[in-house]
Amino acid sequence: MPSRINPSILAADFANLERELGRISTADLVHVDIMDNHFVPNLTFGPPVVSRLAEVSPLPFDVHLMIENPERWAPGYAEAGAFSVTFHAEATTNPVGLARKLRSIGARAGIALKPGTAVEPYLELLPEFDQVLVMTVEPGFGGQSFMPSTMRKLRTLSETVRKTGLDVWLQVDGGITEETIVIAAEAGADTFVAGSSVFNAADPAAQIARLRAAADEHRHGH
């Protein structure tokens, strides 16, 4: 399976989102960062904007909820047709219940871990999820530097997925460039979010191809 590259439209030109979606049509999914100014100190967009963007997007949406009370909002993104909906482990006391709800609506369910959140308590829940998002920066802003300290979690996850034979995608998000994607691929990631490195490139499609090739070259056993 080739590596998946999901550009984050947090780094796109917000005055021209439809055109920006067209520039990344060779990617795998569109990563949509939802921030509520409570879970993280930043604010982006909400359900009406996401529903309308989904109508004009050539690619399905990978929604990343950096919000409190995901029980209240996550199902709506699934109902709006998101391909996957990922909520933060730190924001809920009932991750399994919410994951089951998302799957029942037809979305893939993802759980995200901030850099300081341990992965061990979530390993036994992996059958309930389609994706684990290991944050490689503190959530809230694009353009930050990749934190190599998060790679230990990815290695633990990738080892568990390999041993159990589960089909769970391992996603990284934050500071992904042609250099850092290699580190994440070697640690076991298969799905890569990239905001500034894609949208700041002169040719986003060429950058997507470069990122995918770099990741493919360094992933083991795919």
Q: Where are the beta strands (DSSP E) in the chain?
A: 4-7, 30-35, 61-66, 84-88, 108-113, 131-135, 169-173, 191-194
Q: What is the DSSP letter of 52?
A: H
**Catalytic residue list:** 33, 173
Q: Say how far apart CA 44 and CA 81 lie, in whole Å.
A: 19
What are the DSSP calls for 60-76, one per residue? -EEEEEE-S-HHHHHHH
User: Given the complex with Zn ion, which of 33 and 221 has the nearer CB atom?
Assistant: 33
Q: Say how far apart CA 127 and CA 52 lie, in whole Å.
A: 32
CA nearest to 113, candidates 104, 103, 126: 126
Binding ligand DX5 (rule: CB under 6 A), the pick from 76, 144, 147, 156 is: 144
Residue number, nearest CB to ligand DX5: 195
Told to check if 193 binds ligand DX5 by CB under 6 A, we report yes
Q: Which does 142 bind (CB under 5 to 8 A by kind): ligand DX5, Zn ion, none?
A: ligand DX5
Stretch that binds ligand DX5, among 44-52, 89-97, 154-162, 169-177 (CB under 6 A): 169-177
Told to check if 132 binds ligand DX5 by CB under 6 A, we report no
Contact set for ligand DX5, span 1-60 (CB under 6 A): 8, 10-11, 31, 33
**CB-CB contact of 76 with 50 (8 Å):** no
**Rounded to a whole number, what is the largest CA-CA distance in the chain?**
46
Stretch that binds ligand DX5, among 22-30, 92-100, 178-186, 193-201 (CB under 6 A): 193-201
Q: How many residues bind ligand DX5 (CB under 6 A)?
A: 23
The least CB distance from residue 9 to ligand DX5, in Å, is 8
Residues of this chain that interact with ligand DX5 (CB under 6 A) are: 8, 10-11, 31, 33, 64, 66, 137, 139-144, 173-176, 193-197
